[in-house]
Amino acid sequence: MCQLLAMNCNTPTDMRFSFSGFSQRAGNTGDHTDGWGIAFFEGKGLRHFVDYEQATTSPIAELIRHYAIKSKNVIAHIRKATQGRVLLQNCHPFVRELWGMNWVFAHNGNLQDFQPKLHAQFHPVGDTDSELAFCWLMQELAKSHAGLPSVHELSLSLQELAQRISPHGTFNFLLSNGQALWAHATTDLHYIERQHPFTTAHLSDQDLSLDFSTCTTAQDKVCIIATAPLTSNEQWTRLPPQSLHVFQEGQLLLRLPPPPNAGTANPAPLAAS
Amino acid sequence: MCQLLAMNCNTPTDMRFSFSGFSQRAGNTGDHTDGWGIAFFEGKGLRHFVDYEQATTSPIAELIRHYAIKSKNVIAHIRKATQGRVLLQNCHPFVRELWGMNWVFAHNGNLQDFQPKLHAQFHPVGDTDSELAFCWLMQELAKSHAGLPSVHELSLSLQELAQRISPHGTFNFLLSNGQALWAHATTDLHYIERQHPFTTAHLSDQDLSLDFSTCTTAQDKVCIIATAPLTSNEQWTRLPPQSLHVFQEGQLLLRLPPPPNAGTANPAPLAAS
Protein backbone atom coordinates (compact mmCIF):
# COMPACT_ATOMS: atom_id res chain seq x y z
CA MET A 1 0.00 0.00 0.00
CA CYS A 2 0.98 3.63 -0.27
CA GLN A 3 0.52 6.79 1.74
CA LEU A 4 -1.33 9.93 0.73
CA LEU A 5 -0.96 13.55 1.79
CA ALA A 6 -2.82 16.66 0.63
CA MET A 7 -3.24 20.28 1.60
CA ASN A 8 -6.05 22.69 0.75
CA CYS A 9 -5.85 26.35 1.89
CA ASN A 10 -7.43 29.74 1.39
CA THR A 11 -4.06 31.41 0.90
CA PRO A 12 -0.91 30.00 -0.74
CA THR A 13 0.84 28.08 2.04
CA ASP A 14 4.17 26.30 2.31
CA MET A 15 3.87 22.57 3.14
CA ARG A 16 7.48 21.84 4.17
CA PHE A 17 6.54 20.89 7.76
CA SER A 18 3.93 18.30 6.76
CA PHE A 19 6.01 16.96 3.86
CA SER A 20 9.04 16.59 6.10
CA GLY A 21 7.14 14.32 8.50
CA PHE A 22 5.32 12.50 5.71
CA SER A 23 8.48 11.71 3.76
CA GLN A 24 9.99 9.96 6.82
CA ARG A 25 7.55 7.14 6.09
CA ALA A 26 9.58 6.39 2.95
CA GLY A 27 12.24 4.37 4.78
CA ASN A 28 12.53 5.76 8.31
CA THR A 29 9.10 5.35 9.99
CA GLY A 30 7.54 3.33 7.17
CA ASP A 31 8.57 1.12 4.24
CA HIS A 32 7.09 3.13 1.36
CA THR A 33 10.33 3.13 -0.61
CA ASP A 34 9.18 2.54 -4.21
CA GLY A 35 9.06 6.17 -5.33
CA TRP A 36 7.21 9.31 -4.43
CA GLY A 37 5.70 12.40 -5.97
CA ILE A 38 4.14 15.75 -5.22
CA ALA A 39 2.16 18.30 -7.24
CA PHE A 40 1.63 21.95 -6.28
CA PHE A 41 -1.00 24.09 -7.98
CA GLU A 42 -0.09 27.72 -8.46
CA GLY A 43 -3.21 29.25 -9.96
CA LYS A 44 -3.91 27.13 -13.03
CA GLY A 45 -0.24 26.19 -13.27
CA LEU A 46 1.33 23.11 -11.75
CA ARG A 47 4.68 22.05 -10.37
CA HIS A 48 4.88 18.27 -10.60
CA PHE A 49 7.77 16.28 -9.14
CA VAL A 50 8.05 12.49 -9.26
CA ASP A 51 10.94 10.16 -8.47
CA TYR A 52 11.41 6.41 -8.21
CA GLU A 53 14.09 6.95 -5.55
CA GLN A 54 12.78 6.86 -1.99
CA ALA A 55 11.69 10.20 -0.56
CA THR A 56 14.13 10.06 2.36
CA THR A 57 17.16 10.10 0.02
CA SER A 58 15.93 11.57 -3.29
CA PRO A 59 17.73 14.87 -4.13
CA ILE A 60 14.43 16.25 -5.44
CA ALA A 61 12.63 15.42 -2.17
CA GLU A 62 15.47 17.16 -0.35
CA LEU A 63 14.80 20.28 -2.44
CA ILE A 64 11.06 20.07 -1.62
CA ARG A 65 11.81 19.78 2.11
CA HIS A 66 13.84 23.01 1.99
CA TYR A 67 12.32 25.17 -0.77
CA ALA A 68 9.16 27.00 0.31
CA ILE A 69 6.75 26.41 -2.58
CA LYS A 70 3.46 28.09 -1.65
CA SER A 71 0.25 26.61 -2.96
CA LYS A 72 -3.47 26.40 -2.21
CA ASN A 73 -3.74 22.78 -3.36
CA VAL A 74 -1.04 20.12 -2.99
CA ILE A 75 -1.18 16.35 -3.43
CA ALA A 76 1.71 14.06 -2.41
CA HIS A 77 2.25 10.31 -2.41
CA ILE A 78 4.85 7.82 -1.27
CA ARG A 79 4.68 4.46 -2.94
CA LYS A 80 4.93 0.86 -1.87
CA ALA A 81 4.33 -0.99 -5.11
CA THR A 82 1.43 -3.44 -5.26
CA GLN A 83 0.70 -3.32 -9.00
CA GLY A 84 3.12 -1.81 -11.52
CA ARG A 85 6.91 -1.84 -11.46
CA VAL A 86 9.19 0.68 -9.73
CA LEU A 87 9.41 3.11 -12.65
CA LEU A 88 9.01 6.85 -13.07
CA GLN A 89 5.76 6.44 -15.05
CA ASN A 90 4.24 4.52 -12.12
CA CYS A 91 4.89 7.23 -9.52
CA HIS A 92 1.87 9.17 -8.28
CA PRO A 93 0.45 11.76 -8.49
CA PHE A 94 -0.67 11.46 -12.10
CA VAL A 95 -1.63 14.50 -14.16
CA ARG A 96 -4.05 14.98 -17.06
CA GLU A 97 -5.61 18.01 -18.72
CA LEU A 98 -9.39 18.25 -19.03
CA TRP A 99 -11.41 21.35 -20.01
CA GLY A 100 -8.20 23.41 -20.06
CA MET A 101 -7.34 22.56 -16.44
CA ASN A 102 -4.73 20.34 -14.84
CA TRP A 103 -6.14 17.42 -12.83
CA VAL A 104 -3.95 15.67 -10.27
CA PHE A 105 -4.70 12.25 -8.79
CA ALA A 106 -3.07 9.95 -6.23
CA HIS A 107 -4.35 6.62 -4.94
CA ASN A 108 -3.78 4.39 -1.97
CA GLY A 109 -5.08 0.86 -2.32
CA ASN A 110 -5.18 -2.09 -4.63
CA LEU A 111 -7.86 -2.78 -7.24
CA GLN A 112 -8.57 -6.33 -8.39
CA ASP A 113 -10.29 -7.45 -11.60
CA PHE A 114 -10.49 -3.84 -12.64
CA GLN A 115 -10.49 -3.62 -16.43
CA PRO A 116 -12.60 -0.66 -17.46
CA LYS A 117 -13.07 0.11 -21.11
CA LEU A 118 -11.03 3.15 -22.10
CA HIS A 119 -12.59 4.28 -25.35
CA ALA A 120 -11.81 8.00 -25.27
CA GLN A 121 -8.86 10.30 -24.78
CA PHE A 122 -7.30 9.13 -21.52
CA HIS A 123 -4.88 6.21 -21.48
CA PRO A 124 -2.34 5.14 -18.85
CA VAL A 125 1.34 5.73 -19.55
CA GLY A 126 2.44 3.31 -16.82
CA ASP A 127 1.02 -0.02 -15.65
CA THR A 128 -0.65 0.71 -12.30
CA ASP A 129 -4.28 0.09 -11.35
CA SER A 130 -4.21 3.65 -9.98
CA GLU A 131 -3.48 5.44 -13.25
CA LEU A 132 -6.04 3.21 -14.95
CA ALA A 133 -8.67 4.29 -12.40
CA PHE A 134 -7.71 7.94 -12.90
CA CYS A 135 -8.01 7.66 -16.70
CA TRP A 136 -11.43 6.05 -16.34
CA LEU A 137 -12.57 8.76 -13.90
CA MET A 138 -11.43 11.48 -16.32
CA GLN A 139 -13.10 9.75 -19.26
CA GLU A 140 -16.40 9.46 -17.41
CA LEU A 141 -16.26 13.07 -16.15
CA ALA A 142 -15.63 14.24 -19.73
CA LYS A 143 -18.60 12.18 -20.93
CA SER A 144 -20.92 13.43 -18.18
CA HIS A 145 -20.21 17.15 -18.55
CA ALA A 146 -19.68 19.13 -21.77
CA GLY A 147 -17.59 21.67 -19.89
CA LEU A 148 -16.38 22.36 -16.36
CA PRO A 149 -19.39 21.98 -14.01
CA SER A 150 -19.69 23.48 -10.52
CA VAL A 151 -17.71 21.93 -7.68
CA HIS A 152 -20.99 20.60 -6.27
CA GLU A 153 -21.94 18.87 -9.54
CA LEU A 154 -18.42 17.51 -9.94
CA SER A 155 -18.57 16.11 -6.43
CA LEU A 156 -21.83 14.27 -7.11
CA SER A 157 -20.38 12.78 -10.31
CA LEU A 158 -17.18 11.75 -8.54
CA GLN A 159 -19.01 10.10 -5.67
CA GLU A 160 -21.11 8.11 -8.14
CA LEU A 161 -18.03 7.09 -10.15
CA ALA A 162 -16.01 6.22 -7.03
CA GLN A 163 -18.76 3.82 -5.97
CA ARG A 164 -18.38 1.97 -9.26
CA ILE A 165 -14.65 1.43 -8.65
CA SER A 166 -14.75 0.77 -4.89
CA PRO A 167 -16.12 -2.78 -5.12
CA HIS A 168 -12.85 -3.71 -6.86
CA GLY A 169 -10.79 -3.08 -3.74
CA THR A 170 -9.30 -0.34 -1.61
CA PHE A 171 -9.86 3.02 -3.26
CA ASN A 172 -8.63 5.86 -1.08
CA PHE A 173 -7.85 8.71 -3.46
CA LEU A 174 -7.07 12.41 -3.65
CA LEU A 175 -7.98 14.55 -6.65
CA SER A 176 -7.63 18.25 -7.37
CA ASN A 177 -8.06 20.63 -10.30
CA GLY A 178 -6.66 23.58 -8.34
CA GLN A 179 -10.19 24.81 -7.53
CA ALA A 180 -11.06 22.21 -4.90
CA LEU A 181 -9.66 19.02 -3.41
CA TRP A 182 -11.60 15.76 -3.30
CA ALA A 183 -10.76 12.96 -0.86
CA HIS A 184 -12.44 9.58 -1.15
CA ALA A 185 -11.93 6.98 1.56
CA THR A 186 -12.50 3.30 1.67
CA THR A 187 -10.12 2.51 4.55
CA ASP A 188 -7.58 4.99 5.96
CA LEU A 189 -7.82 8.71 5.35
CA HIS A 190 -7.79 11.44 8.02
CA TYR A 191 -8.05 15.21 7.94
CA ILE A 192 -7.54 18.20 10.16
CA GLU A 193 -8.74 21.80 9.73
CA ARG A 194 -6.41 24.44 11.12
CA GLN A 195 -7.47 28.04 11.62
CA HIS A 196 -7.09 30.94 14.04
CA PRO A 197 -6.10 30.67 16.87
CA PHE A 198 -3.19 28.60 15.54
CA THR A 199 -1.16 26.49 17.97
CA THR A 200 2.01 24.39 17.97
CA ALA A 201 1.93 21.01 16.23
CA HIS A 202 4.39 18.18 16.79
CA LEU A 203 5.14 15.66 14.03
CA SER A 204 4.48 11.98 14.71
CA ASP A 205 7.30 10.80 12.42
CA GLN A 206 10.06 13.22 13.33
CA ASP A 207 11.10 15.17 16.41
CA LEU A 208 9.94 18.47 14.96
CA SER A 209 7.43 21.07 16.16
CA LEU A 210 6.06 24.17 14.49
CA ASP A 211 4.18 27.03 16.11
CA PHE A 212 1.77 27.93 13.29
CA SER A 213 0.86 31.21 15.02
CA THR A 214 4.29 32.55 13.99
CA CYS A 215 3.72 32.04 10.26
CA THR A 216 -0.01 32.63 9.72
CA THR A 217 -2.57 35.41 9.82
CA ALA A 218 -5.94 35.30 11.57
CA GLN A 219 -7.64 34.81 8.19
CA ASP A 220 -5.67 31.71 7.15
CA LYS A 221 -7.44 28.38 6.86
CA VAL A 222 -5.64 25.14 6.08
CA CYS A 223 -6.85 21.57 5.74
CA ILE A 224 -4.41 18.67 5.76
CA ILE A 225 -5.52 15.21 4.62
CA ALA A 226 -3.31 12.15 5.18
CA THR A 227 -3.49 8.38 5.28
CA ALA A 228 -2.45 8.43 8.95
CA PRO A 229 -2.38 11.53 11.22
CA LEU A 230 0.87 13.46 10.79
CA THR A 231 0.92 15.12 14.20
CA SER A 232 0.78 13.60 17.67
CA ASN A 233 -0.90 16.46 19.60
CA GLU A 234 -3.85 17.38 17.38
CA GLN A 235 -7.26 15.82 16.83
CA TRP A 236 -7.58 14.31 13.35
CA THR A 237 -10.93 13.15 11.92
CA ARG A 238 -11.18 9.81 10.17
CA LEU A 239 -13.13 9.82 6.89
CA PRO A 240 -15.90 7.21 7.02
CA PRO A 241 -15.63 4.36 4.50
CA GLN A 242 -17.06 5.17 1.02
CA SER A 243 -17.45 8.87 1.85
CA LEU A 244 -16.28 11.70 -0.40
CA HIS A 245 -15.07 14.86 1.30
CA VAL A 246 -14.61 18.07 -0.66
CA PHE A 247 -12.27 20.81 0.55
CA GLN A 248 -12.18 24.35 -0.77
CA GLU A 249 -10.44 27.49 0.50
CA GLY A 250 -9.08 25.62 3.52
CA GLN A 251 -12.43 24.33 4.74
CA LEU A 252 -14.51 21.21 4.45
CA LEU A 253 -17.12 22.26 1.87
CA LEU A 254 -19.08 19.07 1.35
CA ARG A 255 -19.29 15.64 2.94
CA LEU A 256 -21.00 13.11 0.69
CA PRO A 257 -21.89 9.98 2.65
CA PRO A 258 -21.75 6.56 1.06
CA PRO A 259 -24.77 5.93 -1.16
CA PRO A 260 -27.19 3.17 0.02
CA ASN A 261 -25.71 0.50 -2.26
CA ALA A 262 -22.05 1.34 -1.52
CA GLY A 263 -19.63 -1.54 -1.45
CA THR A 264 -21.86 -3.96 -3.31
CA ALA A 265 -20.06 -7.12 -4.31
CA ASN A 266 -21.57 -7.03 -7.80
CA PRO A 267 -20.78 -3.66 -9.30
CA ALA A 268 -22.39 -2.51 -12.50
CA PRO A 269 -20.11 -2.91 -15.52
CA LEU A 270 -17.70 0.03 -15.74
CA ALA A 271 -18.48 0.96 -19.31
CA ALA A 272 -20.95 -0.12 -21.91
CA SER A 273 -19.32 -1.01 -25.19
CA MET B 1 11.30 35.43 -28.40
CA CYS B 2 12.49 32.43 -26.46
CA GLN B 3 15.33 29.95 -26.69
CA LEU B 4 15.10 26.22 -27.25
CA LEU B 5 17.39 23.35 -26.30
CA ALA B 6 17.02 19.62 -26.81
CA MET B 7 19.07 16.46 -26.56
CA ASN B 8 18.53 13.10 -28.23
CA CYS B 9 20.87 10.17 -27.45
CA ASN B 10 21.26 6.44 -27.87
CA THR B 11 22.10 5.96 -24.19
CA PRO B 12 20.80 7.90 -21.16
CA THR B 13 23.04 10.94 -20.93
CA ASP B 14 23.40 13.77 -18.44
CA MET B 15 22.78 17.25 -19.94
CA ARG B 16 24.25 19.43 -17.15
CA PHE B 17 27.00 20.88 -19.37
CA SER B 18 24.62 22.06 -22.11
CA PHE B 19 21.94 23.24 -19.67
CA SER B 20 24.51 25.20 -17.70
CA GLY B 21 25.52 27.23 -20.75
CA PHE B 22 21.95 27.50 -22.04
CA SER B 23 20.57 28.80 -18.74
CA GLN B 24 23.09 31.69 -18.78
CA ARG B 25 20.93 33.19 -21.51
CA ALA B 26 18.23 33.77 -18.89
CA GLY B 27 19.76 36.96 -17.55
CA ASN B 28 23.53 36.72 -18.01
CA THR B 29 24.21 36.36 -21.76
CA GLY B 30 20.60 36.92 -22.85
CA ASP B 31 17.37 38.50 -21.58
CA HIS B 32 15.11 35.42 -21.52
CA THR B 33 14.00 36.01 -17.94
CA ASP B 34 10.26 35.21 -18.03
CA GLY B 35 10.47 31.62 -16.84
CA TRP B 36 11.99 28.40 -18.00
CA GLY B 37 11.33 24.68 -18.09
CA ILE B 38 12.84 21.30 -18.87
CA ALA B 39 11.46 17.81 -19.40
CA PHE B 40 13.48 14.59 -19.23
CA PHE B 41 12.12 11.30 -20.54
CA GLU B 42 13.12 8.21 -18.61
CA GLY B 43 11.63 5.37 -20.61
CA LYS B 44 7.92 6.25 -20.83
CA GLY B 45 8.16 8.31 -17.64
CA LEU B 46 8.83 12.01 -17.50
CA ARG B 47 10.43 14.48 -15.14
CA HIS B 48 8.96 17.91 -15.88
CA PHE B 49 10.22 21.08 -14.21
CA VAL B 50 8.86 24.56 -14.89
CA ASP B 51 9.39 27.85 -13.11
CA TYR B 52 8.43 31.46 -13.74
CA GLU B 53 11.61 32.61 -11.97
CA GLN B 54 14.56 33.17 -14.29
CA ALA B 55 16.78 30.15 -14.86
CA THR B 56 19.93 31.89 -13.58
CA THR B 57 18.45 32.29 -10.07
CA SER B 58 15.67 29.65 -9.78
CA PRO B 59 16.42 27.09 -7.02
CA ILE B 60 14.99 24.37 -9.27
CA ALA B 61 17.31 25.35 -12.15
CA GLU B 62 20.19 25.24 -9.66
CA LEU B 63 19.20 21.65 -8.82
CA ILE B 64 19.09 20.75 -12.53
CA ARG B 65 22.57 22.24 -13.10
CA HIS B 66 23.99 19.99 -10.36
CA TYR B 67 21.89 16.82 -10.32
CA ALA B 68 22.84 14.35 -13.06
CA ILE B 69 19.49 13.30 -14.54
CA LYS B 70 20.21 10.89 -17.38
CA SER B 71 17.84 10.78 -20.29
CA LYS B 72 17.67 9.87 -23.98
CA ASN B 73 15.31 12.73 -24.83
CA VAL B 74 15.30 16.16 -23.18
CA ILE B 75 13.56 19.41 -24.14
CA ALA B 76 14.30 22.72 -22.41
CA HIS B 77 13.13 26.29 -22.90
CA ILE B 78 13.86 29.73 -21.53
CA ARG B 79 11.15 32.28 -22.04
CA LYS B 80 10.94 35.87 -23.09
CA ALA B 81 7.21 36.49 -23.10
CA THR B 82 5.62 37.66 -26.36
CA GLN B 83 2.08 36.35 -25.82
CA GLY B 84 0.82 35.14 -22.43
CA ARG B 85 1.65 36.51 -18.99
CA VAL B 86 4.58 35.47 -16.78
CA LEU B 87 2.82 32.60 -15.04
CA LEU B 88 3.62 28.97 -14.31
CA GLN B 89 0.99 27.71 -16.77
CA ASN B 90 2.69 29.68 -19.57
CA CYS B 91 6.14 28.13 -19.06
CA HIS B 92 7.28 25.67 -21.71
CA PRO B 93 7.69 22.79 -22.26
CA PHE B 94 4.05 21.73 -22.25
CA VAL B 95 3.01 18.11 -21.70
CA ARG B 96 0.02 16.10 -22.87
CA GLU B 97 -0.78 12.39 -22.99
CA LEU B 98 -1.79 10.80 -26.29
CA TRP B 99 -2.04 7.04 -27.02
CA GLY B 100 -0.69 6.28 -23.54
CA MET B 101 2.51 8.29 -24.10
CA ASN B 102 3.76 11.61 -22.80
CA TRP B 103 4.27 14.28 -25.48
CA VAL B 104 6.48 17.28 -24.72
CA PHE B 105 6.49 20.49 -26.76
CA ALA B 106 8.38 23.79 -26.66
CA HIS B 107 8.14 26.68 -29.11
CA ASN B 108 10.22 29.67 -30.09
CA GLY B 109 8.40 32.31 -32.07
CA ASN B 110 5.24 34.33 -32.23
CA LEU B 111 2.05 33.34 -34.05
CA GLN B 112 -0.38 35.99 -35.28
CA ASP B 113 -4.07 35.57 -36.14
CA PHE B 114 -3.81 31.98 -35.04
CA GLN B 115 -7.19 30.80 -33.81
CA PRO B 116 -7.56 27.12 -34.67
CA LYS B 117 -10.74 25.34 -33.74
CA LEU B 118 -10.17 23.03 -30.79
CA HIS B 119 -13.08 20.63 -30.90
CA ALA B 120 -11.56 17.58 -29.24
CA GLN B 121 -9.69 16.66 -26.10
CA PHE B 122 -6.77 19.10 -25.99
CA HIS B 123 -7.23 22.57 -24.55
CA PRO B 124 -4.65 25.09 -23.33
CA VAL B 125 -4.31 25.65 -19.59
CA GLY B 126 -2.44 28.93 -20.07
CA ASP B 127 -2.81 31.73 -22.59
CA THR B 128 0.15 31.37 -24.97
CA ASP B 129 0.02 30.93 -28.74
CA SER B 130 2.54 28.11 -28.18
CA GLU B 131 0.32 25.89 -26.02
CA LEU B 132 -2.55 26.56 -28.42
CA ALA B 133 -0.40 25.35 -31.34
CA PHE B 134 0.61 22.26 -29.35
CA CYS B 135 -3.03 21.42 -28.52
CA TRP B 136 -3.97 21.79 -32.18
CA LEU B 137 -1.05 19.57 -33.27
CA MET B 138 -2.08 16.89 -30.76
CA GLN B 139 -5.72 17.11 -31.83
CA GLU B 140 -4.82 16.72 -35.49
CA LEU B 141 -2.40 13.84 -34.82
CA ALA B 142 -5.13 12.07 -32.82
CA LYS B 143 -7.58 12.58 -35.71
CA SER B 144 -5.12 11.38 -38.36
CA HIS B 145 -4.02 8.17 -36.62
CA ALA B 146 -6.16 5.72 -34.63
CA GLY B 147 -3.12 4.66 -32.61
CA LEU B 148 0.59 5.37 -32.45
CA PRO B 149 1.98 5.29 -36.00
CA SER B 150 5.60 4.74 -37.00
CA VAL B 151 8.10 7.55 -36.46
CA HIS B 152 8.22 7.98 -40.25
CA GLU B 153 4.44 8.36 -40.55
CA LEU B 154 4.34 10.71 -37.56
CA SER B 155 7.04 12.83 -39.15
CA LEU B 156 5.10 13.17 -42.41
CA SER B 157 1.96 14.20 -40.48
CA LEU B 158 3.91 16.68 -38.36
CA GLN B 159 5.57 18.29 -41.36
CA GLU B 160 2.17 18.71 -43.04
CA LEU B 161 0.63 20.18 -39.86
CA ALA B 162 3.61 22.47 -39.22
CA GLN B 163 3.17 23.97 -42.68
CA ARG B 164 -0.39 24.92 -41.79
CA ILE B 165 0.77 26.84 -38.71
CA SER B 166 3.97 28.38 -40.15
CA PRO B 167 2.23 31.05 -42.26
CA HIS B 168 1.01 32.56 -38.97
CA GLY B 169 4.52 33.51 -37.89
CA THR B 170 7.73 32.11 -36.48
CA PHE B 171 7.27 28.47 -35.61
CA ASN B 172 10.49 26.89 -34.41
CA PHE B 173 9.47 23.97 -32.23
CA LEU B 174 10.75 20.86 -30.48
CA LEU B 175 8.55 17.84 -29.83
CA SER B 176 9.25 14.44 -28.31
CA ASN B 177 7.30 11.39 -27.18
CA GLY B 178 10.40 9.71 -25.73
CA GLN B 179 10.83 7.61 -28.90
CA ALA B 180 12.14 10.33 -31.18
CA LEU B 181 12.69 14.07 -31.20
CA TRP B 182 11.26 16.37 -33.86
CA ALA B 183 12.70 19.81 -34.57
CA HIS B 184 10.91 22.20 -36.91
CA ALA B 185 12.60 25.43 -37.97
CA THR B 186 11.31 28.60 -39.49
CA THR B 187 14.17 30.86 -38.41
CA ASP B 188 16.85 29.87 -35.88
CA LEU B 189 17.54 26.28 -34.94
CA HIS B 190 20.92 24.53 -35.03
CA TYR B 191 22.10 21.02 -34.26
CA ILE B 192 25.26 19.07 -33.70
CA GLU B 193 25.86 15.31 -33.73
CA ARG B 194 28.55 14.11 -31.35
CA GLN B 195 30.03 10.63 -31.54
CA HIS B 196 33.30 8.76 -31.20
CA PRO B 197 36.01 10.08 -31.22
CA PHE B 198 34.70 12.62 -28.68
CA THR B 199 36.62 15.85 -28.14
CA THR B 200 36.57 18.83 -25.80
CA ALA B 201 33.79 21.39 -26.21
CA HIS B 202 33.84 24.92 -24.86
CA LEU B 203 30.61 26.74 -23.98
CA SER B 204 29.80 30.03 -25.74
CA ASP B 205 27.91 31.47 -22.76
CA GLN B 206 30.18 30.48 -19.90
CA ASP B 207 33.88 29.85 -19.40
CA LEU B 208 33.46 26.11 -19.14
CA SER B 209 34.90 23.22 -21.14
CA LEU B 210 34.18 19.52 -21.05
CA ASP B 211 36.23 16.71 -22.54
CA PHE B 212 33.46 14.35 -23.63
CA SER B 213 35.97 11.52 -24.15
CA THR B 214 36.25 11.23 -20.35
CA CYS B 215 32.53 10.50 -19.82
CA THR B 216 31.45 8.55 -22.91
CA THR B 217 31.96 5.18 -24.56
CA ALA B 218 32.81 4.58 -28.22
CA GLN B 219 29.19 3.55 -28.85
CA ASP B 220 27.58 6.75 -27.53
CA LYS B 221 25.79 9.07 -29.92
CA VAL B 222 24.35 12.41 -28.87
CA CYS B 223 22.53 15.13 -30.81
CA ILE B 224 22.06 18.59 -29.34
CA ILE B 225 19.60 21.02 -30.90
CA ALA B 226 19.53 24.69 -29.86
CA THR B 227 18.27 28.06 -31.04
CA ALA B 228 21.86 29.33 -31.21
CA PRO B 229 25.01 27.15 -31.05
CA LEU B 230 25.99 26.43 -27.45
CA THR B 231 29.68 25.84 -28.02
CA SER B 232 32.31 28.04 -29.62
CA ASN B 233 34.68 25.42 -31.01
CA GLU B 234 32.35 22.98 -32.78
CA GLN B 235 30.60 23.04 -36.13
CA TRP B 236 26.82 23.38 -35.75
CA THR B 237 24.40 22.91 -38.65
CA ARG B 238 21.61 25.38 -39.22
CA LEU B 239 18.20 23.85 -39.98
CA PRO B 240 16.82 25.27 -43.24
CA PRO B 241 13.58 27.28 -42.95
CA GLN B 242 10.39 25.16 -42.97
CA SER B 243 12.34 21.91 -42.61
CA LEU B 244 11.51 19.18 -40.10
CA HIS B 245 14.42 17.18 -38.68
CA VAL B 246 13.83 13.93 -36.83
CA PHE B 247 16.37 12.60 -34.35
CA GLN B 248 16.42 9.09 -32.94
CA GLU B 249 19.01 7.18 -30.92
CA GLY B 250 21.42 10.12 -31.10
CA GLN B 251 21.39 10.45 -34.87
CA LEU B 252 19.59 12.46 -37.51
CA LEU B 253 17.05 9.94 -38.82
CA LEU B 254 15.08 12.01 -41.30
CA ARG B 255 15.28 15.44 -42.85
CA LEU B 256 12.00 16.55 -44.40
CA PRO B 257 12.52 19.57 -46.62
CA PRO B 258 9.91 22.30 -46.89
CA PRO B 259 7.02 21.26 -49.11
CA PRO B 260 6.64 23.19 -52.40
CA ASN B 261 3.93 25.52 -51.04
CA ALA B 262 5.70 26.24 -47.71
CA GLY B 263 5.28 29.70 -46.30
CA THR B 264 2.24 30.60 -48.37
CA ALA B 265 0.62 33.81 -47.24
CA ASN B 266 -2.86 32.30 -47.50
CA PRO B 267 -2.91 29.16 -45.41
CA ALA B 268 -5.79 26.71 -45.61
CA PRO B 269 -8.20 27.04 -42.67
CA LEU B 270 -6.86 25.19 -39.65
CA ALA B 271 -9.96 23.13 -38.98
CA ALA B 272 -13.22 22.55 -40.70
CA SER B 273 -16.21 23.08 -38.43
Q: What is the pLDDT of residue B263?
A: 53
User: Is some CB atom of chain B closer than 8 A to the CB atom of A147?
Assistant: no
User: Is some CB atom of chain A closer than 8 A to the CB atom of B121?
Assistant: yes
B161 to chain A, closest Cα gap in Å: 20
Percent residues over pLDDT 90 in chain B: 77
Q: Are A45 and B99 inside 8 Å of each other by CB? A: no
Please, are residues A165 and A111 in contact by the beta-carbon 8 Å criterion? yes
In this prediction, residues B153-176 reach a mean pLDDT of 97
The torsion region of residue A207 among left (phi > 0), alpha (psi -120 to 50) and beta comes to beta
Q: What is the pLDDT of residue A82?
A: 80
pLDDT digits (tens, 9 = 90+) for B18-41: 999 899 988 888 888 889 999 999
Question: Could you give the CA distance from residue B269 to residue A17 in angstroms, rounded to a whole number?
Answer: 53
Tell whether the model's pLDDT for residue B189 goes beyond 90: yes
Closest CA to A74 of A46, A97, A44, A107: A46
Segment (H or E) for A192: strand A190-195
User: Is some CB atom of chain A closer than 8 A to the CB atom of B36?
Assistant: no
Residue A88 in 3-state DSSP?
helix
Question: Could you give the CA distance from residue A247 to residue A250 in angstroms, rounded to a whole number?
Answer: 6
Q: Are B45 and A101 inside 8 Å of each other by CB? A: no
User: Is some CB atom of chain B closer than 8 A to the CB atom of A213?
Assistant: no
B208 to chain A, closest Cα gap in Å: 24
Predicted TM-score (pTM) of the model is: 0.94
Q: What is the pLDDT of residue B29?
A: 87
Closest CA to B4 of B70, B88, B92, B64: B92
Percent residues over pLDDT 70 in chain B: 95
Question: Could you give the CA distance from residue A4 to residue A187 in angstroms, rounded to a whole number?
Answer: 12
Q: What is the pLDDT of residue A117?
A: 95
pLDDT digits (tens, 9 = 90+) for B115-130: 999 998 999 999 999 9
Using 50, 70 and 90 to split pLDDT, how confident is the model at B259?
Answer: confident
DSSP structure class, residue B43: T
Q: What is the pLDDT of residue A14?
A: 93
Q: What is the pLDDT of residue A262?
A: 61
Question: Could you give the CA distance from residue B36 to residue B54 in angstroms, rounded to a whole number?
Answer: 7
| Mean pLDDT, chain B, integer | 92
Which member of A46, A101, A125 has the closest CB to residue B88?
A46
What are the start-end ranges of the E strands in chain B? 3-14, 36-42, 45-51, 70-78, 94-98, 101-108, 172-176, 181-184, 190-195, 200-202, 209-211, 221-226, 237-238, 244-248, 251-256
In this prediction, residues B8-23 reach a mean pLDDT of 93
Residue of A nearest to B52 (CA): A45
**pLDDT tens digit at each of 273 positions of chain A:** 789 999 999 999 999 999 998 989 888 888 888 899 999 999 999 999 999 999 888 999 998 888 889 999 999 999 888 888 899 999 999 999 999 999 999 999 999 999 999 998 999 999 999 999 999 999 999 999 999 999 999 999 999 999 999 999 999 999 999 999 999 999 999 999 999 999 999 999 989 999 999 999 999 999 999 999 999 999 999 999 999 999 999 999 999 998 776 655 444 545 433
pLDDT digits (tens, 9 = 90+) for B191-245: 999 999 999 999 999 899 999 999 999 999 999 999 999 999 999 999 999 999 9
**How much is the CA Rg of chain A, to the nearest whole Å?**
18
Closest CA to B185 of B227, B146, B157: B227
Residues of B (49-108) whose Cβ lies below 8 Å from A = 49-52, 59-60, 63, 67, 87-91, 95-102
Which member of A47, A88, A95 has the closest CB to residue B43?
A88
CATH topology of domain A3-256: Glutamine Phosphoribosylpyrophosphate, subunit 1, domain 1 (3.60.20)
Question: Could you give the CA distance from residue B75 to residue B226 in angstroms, rounded to a whole number?
Answer: 10
This complex has an ipTM of: 0.93
pLDDT digits (tens, 9 = 90+) for B71-99: 999 999 998 888 888 999 999 999 999 99
Tell whether the model's pLDDT for residue B270 goes beyond 80: no
CB pairs under 8 A between A and B: 89
Q: Is A2 a catalytic residue?
A: yes
pLDDT digits (tens, 9 = 90+) for B94-111: 999 999 999 999 999 999
Question: Could you give the CA distance from residue B261 to residue B167 in angstroms, rounded to a whole number?
Answer: 11
Q: What is the pLDDT of residue A152?
A: 97
Q: Are A125 and B88 inside 8 Å of each other by CB? A: no
Residues of B in contact with A57 (CB under 8 A): none
